Amino acid sequence: MEAEQITKNIGKRIRELRNMNGLTQQELADRTELTKGYISQLENGLVTPSVVTLLD
């Protein structure tokens, strides 16, 4: 599997988990100390999260 597809799969899973927990992007951003824009980029597969970001 190539890196671009992995990034998209990670974003899809983040969105699924956020929705399962009834959170908005802003609420997730507040809880993770990330920006809403970054959460959106993650969910849309536009950025690759670092391992540190994933573990936090």
Distance of alpha carbon 9 from the chain centroid: 10
Task: Collapse the DSSP code of 54 into the 3-class scheme (helix H, G, I; strand E, B; otherwise coil) and give the result.
Answer: helix
What domains can be seen in the chain, in order of their start residue?
A: 3-55 (1.10.260.40)
> Do 33 and 39 contact (CB within 8 A), yes or no?
no
HSE (side-chain half, CA atoms, 13 Å) at 52: 2
Q: How many residues does the chain have?
A: 56
Tell whether the model's pLDDT for residue 56 goes beyond 90.
no
| pLDDT in the model for residue 54 | 76
Q: What is the pLDDT of residues 5-46, one digit of tens each?
A: 999 999 999 999 999 999 999 999 999 999 999 999 999 999
The whole-angstrom separation of Cα 21 and Cα 5 is: 24
